[in-house]
Structure formats: C-alpha cells, structure tokens
Structure 1
C-alpha cells in the first residue's frame, strides 16, 4: 500500500495529538490524582503509536509504546507520579515532536530513542518487578459490571432508552442481538476495521449501543474486541457470516438478548428513592449517549473536512479579482444608468458580499493554535530559571486570519520569554517585596472593532525608567533636552528603539528589551502596532493590536490633485472640513483644534510630492482625522471620494520600504490607488 497519500493527514493528526498530550501533561503535573486526564493522555499516545506503526515510523512507534506502558501503570494506580517521571515523559514527547518535524521536512522520522526508551523501561521495571506476571493484563480496562445473563458475557449494560428501542423493535418482529467482534491481535488499523463492521451491520439493521463508546472506538480506545447491541430482521447466521468475511475479524459471537432479564437488571441497578437528586445528571448522560451512539457509525471528525491552506489562498486571490471587477461593474452601472443593470449589479454585490464574508470566515482560525504551545514553554523556562510561574490564558477562542496567525508566534514567544527572564523576580526577591512566591503571566486575546488585541501581562518588578532613560542617553537615542520632558509612557516606548537593551547580562533566554525592535517591526509589517505600559514594582503589560484580516479591507478613498489614495477605515476617527481661519500654528507646525485636542496637520500633497497643475484657492480644507494609539493627526486632502472595500496588493520587490505606503489596490475604473500607512505618518 502506498502510504504517501496519507502522509499529510498523519502529520496533521500527529501534531494535534502531541499538542493534546502536552496540554494534558501540564494539567496532570498540577493534579497528579486526575485519572481522567491520564486516560486522555493514554488515548492520544495509543492512537499516535498505531498511526506511526501503520506509516512505518518504527522509532516513533517504539518510543510511544514505552511511554504508553508508563501511562498505563499510572492510570491503573500502580505508579505514583513525581517530577522525575514527568521530566522523562516530557523529554520523550519532545523527541517524538522532533521526529514529526523531521518527517514534515521530508525525512524518515528516524532518531536515537535508546536513552528515553531505557528510562521509561526502568520506570516500569523498577517499580513493578513483583508484578511482571500481570503486566499483560494492565492494558485492559476493567469491564463494566453486568447484572444479568443474556448479556453479561458481551460486556454491555442497557439504559432505559435502549430498552425502549429494543421493546419497540421486538414488537415489530426484529431479532435483538448482542454481538462481540474480535479483531486479529496484530491488526493495525483497528478503527478502520471497526468502521467496516458498522457499515456492514447498518446495511442489514440498526446499531443501538456500543461498548466501548463510538468515540473510543474511533480513537482505537479498545483492545481487540468491542460489543454491539443490534436489531435486525436478518437471521443470526447471515450476520455472523457477513462480519467474518471482513478482513482482520477473527471471531464473532452473537447471542439473543432476553428483554425480561435485562429489565430486571435495569430495575436492580436503579438508585434508591432518596438518591433522586442524582437522576438529572444520569438522564443527561443517557441523552448524550443515545445521541452519540444510536444508529451511528464511527465518523471522521463529524461534518468537517481538512482543506489545505494553499487552496484557501488561491480562493481568496480569485475572489480578490472578483471584488475588483465588482467595483468596475458598479461604476459602469452608475454611468449607464439603466435600472435593470443597476438592480442586477446590486444583487450581485449582495451575493458577493455574503461570499466574501464566508471566505474570510473560512480563513479565520482561533489564536489557540498559537497559544497552545506556550504553557509547555513557560513550564520548561520556569524550571531552568528556578522560578515559580503561573501562566493564565484568556480568549484563546478569539479568531484571526490564518496569515496573521502564522506570523505572530515568534513575537509572542519573545515577549513571554522577556517576562519570564527579566519581568518576573526570583522567589527570594518576591518574598522580600511581599509578593506571592509564584509569579503570574497573563496572555489574553480579545476582539475590538476590526482589530484583535493580544495582551502579555506580568506581575513582576516593572520597568526601571531611570535605567531605560540613562541607557537611551548613553546610546544617543534621545537628547538630554528631550529626556527632561518625556513622560513615563514615552520612556517605556524607548524599549522598542533599534538595538536598545537594558540587560546587564544578555542571557540565552532574553533580556528585557533585547530584540523588541524586531517584535515591533514584525507587528507593524502585519498592519498592527505594539505598545508597553508598566508600573514599577507592579508589573508590565505589552499590548499588540492586529487587523482581523490582511486581504480585503474597508478604506476611505480620497483625492489629492489627480491622484487617489486609500486610507484604512480602521485608522480613521472622523472626516471633517475646516475653515482656513481655524488652522493655527504651533512650533512651526500647522494644527487644528479637534474636540479640545491639538491635532497636527499632515499635507498628503507635500508628503508624496503630488504635482500641482494650477493653484486653487479655497476657504475650506478637507481633513481625515486618523490615530495610532493615543496619537492623532489630520491628513489634508482635496476631497473625499467615499468608502469602499479594497483588495490589498503588495508593491512588489522593487518598491520595498516606501515611506507611508503599505500597499496598493486596483479600483473599479482600472486606476491604481496607493494605500496610506497612517502609523508611519503619525510617527
């Protein structure tokens, strides 16, 4: 069998399982008695082992198998978790992750797993030498207790819902069967074989219940056999023969269910009258159970499919061209003035608007994909630094465009490492300051308008502004005169200056300020901004502002002489027209009074050196008020054209780093309009 066709799926699913294992291991480390979490980790490891073995990655399969043995002891209360055991498991997971990366890069996934395998085996043998005889039984979960014959040997227990369905089926003349299917002991794709069994059964009847659950069967959470409660009009022999014809099925036991005995068992297992408070929970579980298993076969991920991001990129590019043509059609319809054409174009605009919304939504993914890697990173760094740290994550469900998600990981890693290394104090320093030994770092994401904000906040020592200012003066970043009038916030912003650092010793983790200019450049290249706020002794907060999407944006089109420019709506506060006598001068700069604030004016004609055909005199000045954080500016233009959705296009490799221009767009009439970078103008 050619396994290459499954390679992409294997890589994606392996990453998901490894992420789940990492996250659950962190929970387990803080709550060692949580057997439910151990079971979750075991299931992920078990699935990963089966997948890697099937794909022929033997090193990964053998290492995962040894880790699975340790987890099996833990979940059966045969092994007590401690820090050393957790470290060995984490190291094993790291090695498996490196194998997956190797495979992703075209390698064969091979690695030297002898040391971690030896450690894992030592954990098992060292603790349980006296119990080697029972080791083979450790992988088997204890079967659910049975209350009556006619079902006991099959390992199922019927609830009221299942009993009602069986009674109705019996009255309709159906056979009520309990089926136990056993697969070959060397069967690799157990979930696939189980699917074939369910598919065959559903062609001849209806599945009522499975043991274990459908979800567990999908995840290969069973040994070699599973049980099914089944109703059919077909004879037993036909059912048995059909199932035995499926590859890897070695045994099929079929028995008839005795309803009377099952009813007695159900009544015997019913809770006493005084325990009625627990009934609603049991009923919810029954409802969930019947929704999950009644008449359903295992499905791969429900009603979702995996789509390559490159296909979505192509779809977005094609739609971008459609948006340009839509603008052209709207303009032509206005010029021609025919009602029928205008109505058709308006309808097309509504439909394409809905299509645009769907495409943008398809590209949106939760920031959880980025945030998920940080708990493990913080745990390891805290251990290296001998610090106690609690990472709190909020708003992981907040969605961003995939192109933005792919780029923000590194800046966030840098900010978190800064907070850990130089933001949070040591345990001794925190005690002296009267703080809890455990420091807190908060990572928060939230929507606001057309932006997503990501906040990295620590409760550490804060930024030493005197030290920052002295370093800035020493480096010549600011003058002595300017330094005397700078506010605290302006001093904090100096951290983003190129090459600036307050770290006396630059560690291999990072120093507060080391590379923050790179963080700022990366965020601004995404059309966003980053700011910092700090209170000495209380902590520091970095706030990142990012656009929801980078492909299609809403903008205000403005005219400057014969040229058109687009100003992103996300940067605009208001458009206004001022009388010339309202314009004042301050420090040789034209300014206006906008709602009680002095706002400097920036002439786009002067900034972009737009050629002037003739001198035009007017008593009024059109101004677009824009902002960047708390700073504001007024862009002087000739006129406002109107709001329009535009497709953001790159200027290409020949026009890089053009001042105050972030890209270009093609308008409906075919003209090219440059998109203004308001952040650069305000700065």
Structure 2
C-alpha cells in the first residue's frame, strides 16, 4: 500500500476510534446535561477528516464527514438538543465512514454509496433550518465556483457574518503540490495540519483530479492543484512564507476580507513546542553530519528537509517568524542541492550546521523569555549566498553511458544487504539500457525504480531519480539497481521492460561482491572523478563544532542541555532484540554470581590454616626428638645424619612459615572478593532496571482493547432489543502489544455468544427476578505467572443437559460414556468445530463457528481458556496467558540430578515435616498444615518420571504452591535458592508436555525446566 494512503488511513482510524468513544459518552449524557467539550471534539475530528480527504480527492468521505459536521454544528450551537435519534444517525455515519476506509484499504477506492445517508441528513437540516444551497443561486461573496459548490448556504452565511464583524480574514488560496513532494518526505497530511494551524479550514477542493472517486495512482503521476478556503488572523505574506516551498507552490491568494491581524495566545503550546523542536534540532545535527560524510544521501536529504519543514511550521504557528524564515531558507538550500544547482562541500555543510546552531540558540532564548526577539542578521549572512539564484554549480551524473554502471555500496547499504539475506530474500543487479535519444528518459527511469520498489526493495541505484533531477543539457539512457526481493528474475524483467527499453541485464548479487565496494561514501554515489567536492576543489570536512566560550561542549549536542521528549514510537522488532539481549544479560549476571560463590568458598576455606598449624607442630616435635636422639647416641655417623635431618627440618619449617604468611596475606585480601560481590549486586540492580524497562516498553494497558467493545456491545444489544451494561475492571493490567492485537477476535466471539445466547431479554430477566439491565463484565488481572482475562455475564448460563443431548444426537460419544462425563468435560465440547446448542441461528452466532476459533487463537498464544457457568446465574470465560518470553524470579529445586524452576509468584511458603506426618486420604498423600489438610505430591510423580519415588529421608521438604484458592505441596530433594531466570520457549515439539511451560539457562550453564503450576495442580486431581 502506498505510504501516503497508509498514513491517511492511520490518521482516519484514530479519528474514527475517538469519535466512537465520544459518541458513546454523548449518548450517556442524554437527559443529564451536555458536555460541550465532547461535542467540540467530535466536531473537530469530522472537520479534520473532511479537509484531509478533500485535499487527497476522497470526496465521498469529505461529503460524508461534511454532513456529520453540519449535525455537530447544530448541537454545539445549541440549536438542537441531543436525542437518541441524532446519536443513532451519527453512529450510522461512522459505520459508513469505516466501510469507506475499508474499501480504500482493500480495493483502493471509496466503494460505497452514501446518497441515502446524505438525504437523511439533508432532510433533518431541512426540517430545522435551511438546506443545500441551490446551484443557480448567486453568492454575496466573491468565492470561486469550485469552493462554492462544496459549502452550504448556512456556511456561506456564517462566513459573511464573520467578515462583517471584522473577526479575522478569509482567503481563497490555490496551490500546487508537486508530485515530487511525496517522494521527498513531505506528507500532504502534515501539510494539511500546517494549514489548520493557521486558522480554520472552511473547505478544501482538488481542482484537477476528476472524475471522482479519484484513482490514487494519479497522486504519483501528476501535480495536485487544490483550492483552500481559510479563515485566519494572519496576513497573506505570512501565509506565503509559512506554506510555500519548492514542492508546495502558492499560485494565488485572494483576500475575501479586509486584512486585520489579531494576536493569538499560544502559551499553552510553548512547552510542547520547545520539547519537540529540541528533539528535531538534535536529529538535524546528526543528519547534516551524515550528509557531509555522504551516507545514504537520499534518506538524509529527505530527513533534513522534513525536519526543517516541521521547524518552519511549528515556529511560524508559535509566532517565531525569524526561526520560520531561516528554516524556509534551509529548505531552499536543500532544494538547490537536490537540483544540483549547489554541490555538497564544506561551505554548504557549515552553513547548514550554523542554521542548526541558530535554532538551538533561539530555543535557549525562548526558554528564558518566551517573547525574546531573535536577531537573524548573522545567520542570514551565512546562508544568503546559497539561497540566491546564482549560476549553477552542480555536476552532472558521472555515468559513462557506453559502459555498464558499476554500483558501489556504503556501510548502510551493507547493513540492508545483510538484513535481506537473513530474511531469505534474493539479491539481483539490474541494468536497463534505453534506446538512443529516448524522450522523457528521466521519467522512464523514475517509473522503472517505482516498479522495482513494488516487488521488492531498491537498496542502491544509479542514477537515483529521487536525488538527482534530469538537466536540460542531457538525458538519461541507462539505469542500474541493486534490489532485494522474493521474486525471480522473470518477474523483475517483466516490471522493468517498459516502452523504449532496448536491453535488460539481470544478475545475482552476492555478499562477497558487495564487500568489494563497501564504504565509498559520497565518492561511491557521485563517482570519484566527478564528485561535487572534487569539482569545487574542497573535500568535505567533519568539524568538531564547539562553542566559543571554552566550555568544550558541542553546540549540536542538544541532549546535554535539555530533556528528551516524553514519548517515541519504536519498531517492535527493536524491542524484541532488546528483550533477547536483556535475557542474555540476566544469564551473564547469574554466571558472575556463580563465580563469586566459588571464589568465596576458596577464600573462606579455614581448613588449610589448620593443616599448616599441624605441619608446623609436627616439624617442631620432630626437631626436638632429633636433638634428643643426637645427644643420646655416639658416633660421628649418627651424629652427622641427625644433624642433616635437623637442618632439613629447620629449612622446611622456614619455608612453611613463609607459605603460611603468604596464604594469610591472601586471606586478608578477601575484601577484594567483597567488592566483587558488591559489584555483582550492583550489576543485578542495573540488570533489573533494564529488564523492567524493556519489558514495560512492550506492554500496553488492556483497557485499550476493552474499550473497543463499548460500541460493539451497544450496537449488538440494541439490535437484539436487550439492555446491557458493560463493566470494565483491571484495565490498567498490561499485556504485550502482540497479544493485545491477537486477543481482539477471541473476545469478539465471546461477546457475540454472550449477547445472543447467554443474556436473556429484558422481559425474561424481570420474570426470573433479575434486573432487566444485564451486566457484561471484562476483567484483567495478574495471577501468578499468568495474565487472566475474564469475560462474564449474569445471563442464563450454559445448559449442560442440552450439551449432553447434542453430543448424543451428533454421535460424538456413546450415551453410557456421556453420562459419566464431568460438567467440565461436557462444557469442553462447545469448543469443537460446528458444535452449538443454539436452537436458533442468527446473523451473529448459532452456527457453531466461533468458539473453536477462540480456542485455536488462545492455544496459538500458548494460553488456555476455561469456562465457569451456573444455570440461571451466568457464564464466565477465563483466558490464561503465560508469559512465553519474560524474565521472572524463580525458586530453584533439585530432583535427582535435574534442576527445576518454580515461578516465585506461585510459591506460598516452604515447609519441612517428618515422614511420619504423612497420611493417606483418598489414595493421596496429605499432611495437616495449620489445621487444614494439604495434598503433597513428589514432583517426580507429577512429571511422570516413573522412578518409583520413596520417602527415604526422615525430614521432607515441600514447596506449597497455589493458584487462586487451590494449593498443593510439591516434594523436592533440595532447594537451591532464588534466581532471576529468562523464560525461553521450548518449541512446538514440547508444547504439549504437561507441567512444563518453558526452560531457562542457569548461571552454571545448566538447563532448568520451568514448572507450569496451574497444569500441575490440575494433574493432582487425576493422580
């Protein structure tokens, strides 16, 4: 899908979600007083959608939101009161809006007729006030016919009254959005927001995209001309400087009123402006340095242009004209660089860095005094010579048309190549030769590149039509590209074989080949002989731009003087990678802890000193005995022998004394070990902080999912003629975003079944003594090592006897066996495909399709779904989702030679008891704990190790674990202590092993299996 359309759909989706939520709030306020803020919020959303869709040519959506806007205008002015009929009409409009957006997403067009809805709204307006302006009626205002046909008579009347009262100005602005702007990082949606920041956009109409509905591909092929009717307090010169650029050209601006500039209070937007601009300045510095090095010129140009454009828009909206003016000049410099009217050299880079410094200094002044006047004379002097229309200095593309183009790759390209190979994509070099004197060569190359982007990703190309433009002095007759794709060369040949192509050469591209040309920078892109730096006689220099006050701080280092923004968007793959690295850090920390324990055992070993003392004592005694022996014997031989032995004993004593001294010195240095252990503890604290932060960054509140169902419940209840109140609790409980996305469908099936079959009609409920308003509850909570999501109702419950009948009727089990099934076993049948107890099939349920999908989805997430039901009281679905990849604290236990991890959240306590305290009860081993009977089971029995476990020790250790209100004691051989462990998936082959939820690598390198406590507790019921 085109990025522009995706951006529009994302933006529209957010508006629709907000409007749904606010309409529900509005509906709840009927008869209780109106919250005008809610009405204004809905109005603004409809107004924004009308403008953006109109600018892009989605005139059906523009018309639909225009009509909804008319209704909201009546409500906010107080002319109409809020009624159920009006709210239903607005909900109907939202349904049509969602259908139109779906059509654009799936079919690329507005595939829905809204004439009936438009007639309904116009009928309502006609009953209350005036309808649509007749086509032949003349206007009191000199507005063009294109705009006049798109506004109502009442809107025209309001414009006239506004002008008469002197409340600001109204301008009719015609503009051209060059098709290149979409390729150069300027989003039309961002542009529309810029227009909105100037005042109120009354109407937007495209002039040249007809017939409608528009084919979105036209956006890529033609410039778009639009006409805007804008109510604003700004004068025409300011509007031109704020909106105009090389890609967004203002053709005419016609004043409908007398100019009168009024001051605006922007104080509440000051801090967001400062925070956002500081972040953009920091990025701008980095991108300019990348431009100097020649890294990814295409992406760098686009990013710098986008940053300058945003600074221009936001500063202008805040009234800081000097910043807006300098940013506008920067855009001009960048445009001239891309058009090759300027070359990339040290002077240009220095000027752009001076611009970034100017922005930084301006923000610092604004922080001190928001009304600070900023002198731009100096910076103007730096950039003016590059902005003026001087003689063209740019260079032509250095491509020898008679030889194949030698593609050169830089470090960034290499990273993209490696990533493509890791994902299994193929790499191809594509050379395309156009026929001699081919007209519109640049446009054809542009089309070829777009076609390649449709089937893969162009990593590198020469010439790059998005960076270089064809000059009048020459034409392009050859194109080369490096592409990653999952298609074969036949498909590639097909998409590049357009009109006027003479020959095509496609070859596989290898990683070895790419290494030969890595790291060529600007020279690789522009050719070493004809690079812009070479022609200018100047090599790009990366200067260490420090301040002039001797502080040594880089002026571009904004992060050192101001805090960052409060939120950012991060690709989830990056979080996945951080999560994996954090897991490895936890394992490394555990290994260091193990080393510390080993060292401590060495240094704390007191036995060596005892042995040394014994040796010294024995040697002393031996020496004394030898002296006695020497005196008591005669003869030189014995005397000499005794003397020799005595001397050796003395030397040995001396050496041992020296050894003892060294060992004692080493022992005294055990404080080093204490420091080491302290560092390990510090590492543990840091690791915990990192792991906690990374995990939280992936998590979103489940309330985001739950609140989507407010509208669904409301509509289904109304359709079935039932009164239902949705209650949400635990909405602050957090889940991984991927899990949130996957839970939507299962919850929808549960809600549909509950409303259609579980909840009775109001009359039926009153007859049975219930409140006629049924309650549907959503709840989320953390239970042990699981996240539990509950969907419950107070309806009629599941008829277990009816399930028995259906099982027998369908021949799914023998009648004798069915009679022996437990209630839980019978309820499990409703999760089978095609099974339903419903006597009536409706448009939303009753066919037996749905709950089987629920179980498949939950199983796919590694979770489980259970049902608790009571006839006449209601039903509760309980979804338990394990943390398949997380870091948790666990209690390590040894069974035989294996180590197992017990999630600490499930551990209630640890008990030790005598073997004689064990008693048999219903074939189970039990003990009495504080007056209550507790089942104890050897872990080897729970895991069915079949090793014939026997209680051999007199003192037995058991870990008491529990889930909700049920507890058991797991008998283990030895407890090894607590440790943070990384939960790793055990893969599909072992996913059905009962009692094991994952595995972890311990500090000593051993593998520890992680116990699944809920399934082990269930297993005790069957032992």
Same fold by TM-score greater than 0.5: yes
Q: Secondary structure at the match of 2:913?
A: strand
Alignment-derived partner of residue 378 in structure 1: 713
Alignment-derived partner of residue 567 in structure 2: 304
Q: Secondary structure at the match of 2:990?
A: coil
**Aligned counterparts, 1:28-427, within 5 A:** 28-31=26-29, 34=34, 36-53=37-54, 60-72=61-73, 75-76=76-77, 89-98=90-99, 100-101=101-102, 107-114=106-113, 116-124=114-122, 127-128=125-126, 130-133=130-133, 136=152, 138-139=154-155, 153-154=166-167, 182=171, 184=173, 192=191, 195=194, 224-227=230-233, 248=250, 250=253, 290-292=267-269, 296=273, 303-337=566-600, 338-427=673-762
Question: Does residue 484 of structure 2 align to residue 495 of structure 1?
Answer: no
In the TM superposition, what is the alpha-carbon distance from 1:400 to its structure 2 partner?
2.4
- Distance verdict in 2 for CA 1:523–1:640, change over 3 Å: farther
Q: Distance between the aligned counterparts of 1:608 and 1:141, measured in 2?
A: 80
Higher Rg of the two aligned structures: 2
Alignment-derived partner of residue 926 in structure 2: 591
- Distance verdict in 2 for CA 1:90–1:667, change over 3 Å: same
Residues 804 and 818 in structure 2, CA contact (< 8 A), matched pair in contact too: no
In the TM superposition, what is the alpha-carbon distance from 1:365 to its structure 2 partner?
0.8
- Distance verdict in 2 for CA 1:547–1:240, change over 3 Å: closer
Residues 532 and 540 in structure 1, CA contact (< 8 A), matched pair in contact too: yes
- Distance verdict in 2 for CA 1:5–1:292, change over 3 Å: same
RCO (CA 8 Å, sep 6+): is it higher in 1 or 2? 1
**Range 66-75 or range 567-576, more displaced:** 66-75
Question: Does residue 569 of structure 2 align to residue 563 of structure 1?
Answer: no
- Distance verdict in 2 for CA 1:110–1:86, change over 3 Å: farther
Provide structure 1 residue ranges, at least 5 long, that are not aligned to the other structure. 156-179, 199-209, 214-221, 229-235, 263-285, 484-489
Residues 560 and 610 in structure 1, CA contact (< 8 A), matched pair in contact too: no
Question: Does residue 982 of structure 2 align to residue 662 of structure 1?
Answer: no
Alignment-derived partner of residue 1011 in structure 2: 676
Alignment-derived partner of residue 454 in structure 2: none
Residues 72 and 139 in structure 1, CA contact (< 8 A), matched pair in contact too: no
Q: Secondary structure at the match of 1:153?
A: coil
Alignment-derived partner of residue 18 in structure 2: 20
**Range 473-482 or range 446-455, more displaced:** 473-482
Question: Does residue 627 of structure 2 align to residue 628 of structure 1?
Answer: no
Q: Distance between the aligned counterparts of 2:881 and 2:739, measured in 1?
A: 8
Q: Secondary structure at the match of 1:556?
A: strand
Q: Secondary structure at the match of 1:417?
A: helix
In the TM superposition, what is the alpha-carbon distance from 1:124 to its structure 2 partner?
1.2
What do the CA deviations read for 1:44-80 (whole angstroms, capped 9, x no partner)?
2232344445556565445444544554455556677
Q: Distance between the aligned counterparts of 1:358 and 1:75, measured in 2?
A: 44
Residues 473 and 479 in structure 1, CA contact (< 8 A), matched pair in contact too: no
Residues 526 and 550 in structure 1, CA contact (< 8 A), matched pair in contact too: no
The count of corresponding residues between Structure 1 and Structure 2 is 590
TM-score for both structures, normalised by structure 1:
0.71
- Distance verdict in 2 for CA 1:535–1:296, change over 3 Å: same
Alignment-derived partner of residue 792 in structure 2: 457
Q: Distance between the aligned counterparts of 2:12 and 2:24, measured in 1?
A: 18
Q: Secondary structure at the match of 2:936?
A: strand
Alignment-derived partner of residue 163 in structure 1: none
**Aligned counterparts, 1:436-585, within 5 A:** 436-446=771-781, 452-464=787-799, 491=823, 494-497=826-829, 499=832, 502-505=837-840, 507-510=842-845, 519=854, 523=858, 532-533=867-868, 536-544=871-879, 546=881, 550-585=885-920
Q: Distance between the aligned counterparts of 1:240 and 1:54, measured in 2?
A: 18
Q: Distance between the aligned counterparts of 1:630 and 1:39, measured in 2?
A: 49
Query: Alpha carbon RMSD of aligned pairs, Å?
Result: 4.7
Provide structure 2 residue ranges, at least 5 long, that are not aligned to the other structure. 135-150, 178-187, 202-227, 277-309, 315-564, 601-672, 1019-1023
Residues 937 and 969 in structure 2, CA contact (< 8 A), matched pair in contact too: yes
